[in-house]
Amino acid sequence: MAKKLVKRSENYSEWYNELVVKADLAENSAVRGCMVIKPYGYAIWEKIQRILDDFFKETGHQNAYFPIFIPKSYFEKEAEHVEGFAKECAVVTHHRLKPKENNEKGLECDPNAKLEEELIVRPTSETIIWDTYRGWVQSYRDLPILCNQWANVVRWEMRTRMFLRTAEFLWQEGHTAHATSEEAIEETKKMLDVYAHFAQKFMAMPVIKGVKSPNERFAGAIDTYCIEAMMQDGKALQAGTSHFLGQNFARAFDVKFLSKENKLEYVWATSWGVSTRLMGALIMSHSDDNGLVLPPKLAPLQVVIIPIYKTDEEFEMINNEADKIISFLKSRGISVKYDDRKEYSAGWKFNEYELKGVPIRITLGARDLKEGLVEVARRDNLTKETISVDKVNEYTENLLEEIQKNLFNRALSFRQTNTRKVNSWEEFLVEIEKGGFLLCHWDGTPETEEKIKELTKATIRCIPLEGEEEEGKCVYSGKKSNKRVVFARSY
RNA sequence: CGGGGUGUAGCGUAGUCCGGUUAUCGCGCCACAUUUGGGAUGUGGAGGUCGCAGGUUCGAAUCCUGCCACCCCGACCA
């Protein structure tokens, strides 16, 4: 009589929130729109960090750290940037509290401790980093600067959603400076490739690489490249962005260098980032009604071993077998836990680890083991296989690979069956209600995109980099177009 | 910030329209016993500012006023 703790309700958000909390990843904090990431959830983030960080180092980047507070005036320097972020900033105005007057209880800001200039809690660090870079660059020999920062940022969003849009979130932001436009664009694309590779090979999440339309572009960028993923409810999720900033920030912050030709020039910039939103993407890509489903490469725990026995002798026998399996798996760098707690029944443990998304469960039962058998269960499709105990090591190792691949293929085929070419406006109106991605021609104007968004809530998720040229007519205006773009409703 | 909804134990809830004994039930928690191959069973037990603050009343979870928080839909966004 397994009682399902997690139910996929009609309302996807409800299911999602339920899942996140029950799966012990995070909970809402007392602070509006912020979340507490619990140890198990944070362990996933640490894996993401470690893997990405290795990629960054391989591509020549270094980590650095910049202040959390940014003087307000910095934001005023890049016009589009201000407009993009001004509406959602947390602002520090005072540096001291004092007890309230008139015997009232509580504290208030001390008017004598008002800051000369307000400080903004960073919503992103372009401004303070470019202000700093000015002092680092004089000659072309100082370029490129390839820095990354792991940090928290704050955006005072009207509406927040666990993992996908919290008021405070963790992320990495890369900020690079280059001598030429070409080199900066190359960097932008290189980092997009890193993100796409990570999403597909590690998160087992297929993504479409593309460029944002002007409406969806980062505030202050010339071009915003992105990876877009499809969640299980057919909605799109922007999973990572890489921006070509041109010379916008260099001009705003006066970052110039003397070129080989002895000419004073502004540097070319990029910035790129992914956040704890990736964890939301991970959950929403693979999880099912039994809880989380984690790809082996990101699971904090890859294998769990559960003993079932009645007598001490049986327990002894199982322990011996477990030791052998554990030492093998550990030697292969596979994380494994032997859960021999007596306080919980086997059935309870089965459900617990399914909820947590542990990819493989090995059941060492006294009954089977006496016949030289063990049961290996996989989380991705919930099937079980009884195999000979002397094959379990190799089998488990291969199965992790198999699960990783299967999750990707499953998500990919889901995306494919929910991606359709749409050629007329009538068709668009019908199809957008079904969810998924619509590949449509678009006349390239912000007005059309705006109109479509207004009428259907769908936006252009990206203009795919790999899409082939094709003559056609804009799905809304009927004007000429030579490429299909991805329309979808998104998170 | 606009529209809608919800707030009762760690979680999920009944009761609110129509005020009236000790605030209902399930899960979870604690103790003991029997159990352990898909979230065990029995017995006993602990746990509550009924979101907060006022008001009406002999009496408020219930009625009135104000506030707060959360969720959903908009606007905004990684």
Residue A2 banded pLDDT, cuts 50, 70, 90: very low
pLDDT of A6 > 80? The answer is no
Cα A236 from Cα A231, distance rounded (Å):
6
Span CA (A17) to C1' (B22), Å: 37
pLDDT of A10 > 80? The answer is no
Span CA (A343) to C1' (B29), Å: 14
Helices A181-201, A39-58: axis angle to 10 degrees equals 140
Span CA (A356) to C1' (B45), Å: 32
Q: Choose between A139 and A75: higher pLDDT.
A: A139
Q: How far is CA A95 from CA A49, A74, A111, in A?
A: 33, 20, 10
Span CA (A39) to C1' (B49), Å: 32
Q: How far is CA A199 from CA A35, A244, A351, in A?
A: 23, 21, 28
**What pLDDT score was predicted for residue A7?**
43
pLDDT of A18 > 70? The answer is no
In one letter, which amino acid is A78?
Answer: E
Span CA (A405) to C1' (B23), Å: 54
Cα A213 from Cα A417, distance rounded (Å):
25
Q: Average pLDDT of A420-428? A: 93
pLDDT of A262 > 60? The answer is yes
Nearest DNA or RNA nucleotide to A375 (CA to C1') = B37
Q: Average pLDDT of A218-228? A: 93
**What pLDDT score was predicted for residue A11?**
55
**What pLDDT score was predicted for residue A176?**
98
Nearest DNA or RNA nucleotide to A164 (CA to C1') = B78
Span CA (A165) to C1' (B29), Å: 34
Taking only the tens place, the pLDDT of each residue in A458-489 is 999 999 999 788 999 999 999 999 999 999 98
Nearest DNA or RNA nucleotide to A314 (CA to C1') = B36
**ipTM for the assembly:** 0.82
What is the rounded end-to-end Cα distance, in angstroms, of chain A? 36
Nearest DNA or RNA nucleotide to A5 (CA to C1') = B39
Domains of chain A from N-terminus onward: 12-60+130-286 (3.30.930.10), 303-405 (3.40.50.800), 419-488 (3.30.110.30)
Note whether A395 and A373 are within 8 A (CB). Answer: no
Collapsing DSSP states into helix, strand and coil, what is residue A211?
strand
Q: Lowest-confidence range among A25-29, A124-128, A225-229, A428-432?
A: A25-29
pLDDT of A413 > 90? The answer is yes
Nearest DNA or RNA nucleotide to A241 (CA to C1') = B78
Nearest DNA or RNA nucleotide to A349 (CA to C1') = B39
The strand ranges marked E within A282-426 are 303-308, 336-338, 360-365, 373-378, 384-388, 419-421
Span CA (A343) to C1' (B31), Å: 14
Nearest DNA or RNA nucleotide to A169 (CA to C1') = B78
pLDDT of A107 > 80? The answer is no
Q: Average pLDDT of A359-386? A: 96
Q: Average pLDDT of A314-330? A: 96
Span CA (A162) to C1' (B14), Å: 30
Which of the nucleotides in strand B have any atom less than 7 Å away from a protein CB atom? Answer: 1, 35-40, 69-78
**What pLDDT score was predicted for residue A159?**
77
Residue A318 banded pLDDT, cuts 50, 70, 90: very high
**The whole model's pTM is what?**
0.93
Span CA (A21) to C1' (B24), Å: 27
Nearest DNA or RNA nucleotide to A124 (CA to C1') = B78
Note whether A429 and A466 are within 8 A (CB). Answer: no
pLDDT of A260 > 90? The answer is yes
Q: Average pLDDT of A296-320? A: 95
Residues in chain A: 491
Span CA (A106) to C1' (B65), Å: 25
CA A22 to chain centre: 20
Q: Which residue is nearest to nucleotide B38 (CA to C1')?
A: A347
Span CA (A342) to C1' (B32), Å: 17
Span CA (A102) to C1' (B56), Å: 31
Cα A418 from Cα A425, distance rounded (Å):
18
Q: Which residue is nearest to nucleotide B75 (CA to C1')?
A: A158
Nearest DNA or RNA nucleotide to A21 (CA to C1') = B11
Phi, psi of A277 (to 5 degrees): -55, -30
**What pLDDT score was predicted for residue A108?**
77
Q: Lowest-confidence range among A89-98, A244-253, A324-333, A418-427?
A: A89-98
Span CA (A5) to C1' (B21), Å: 37
Q: Lowest-confidence range among A14-28, A313-327, A359-373, A416-430?
A: A14-28
Q: What is the DSSP letter of A231?
A: -
Nearest DNA or RNA nucleotide to A154 (CA to C1') = B78
**What pLDDT score was predicted for residue A122?**
93
Sign of the C-alpha dihedral computed for residues A236, A237, A240 and A243 taken in this order: positive
Q: Strands A264-266 and A268-275, how do they pair? A: unpaired
**What pLDDT score was predicted for residue A242?**
97
Residue A102 banded pLDDT, cuts 50, 70, 90: low
Q: Lowest-confidence range among A104-118, A180-194, A353-367?
A: A104-118
Compute how many other C-beta atoms are within 10 angstroms of the C-beta atom of residue A175: 28
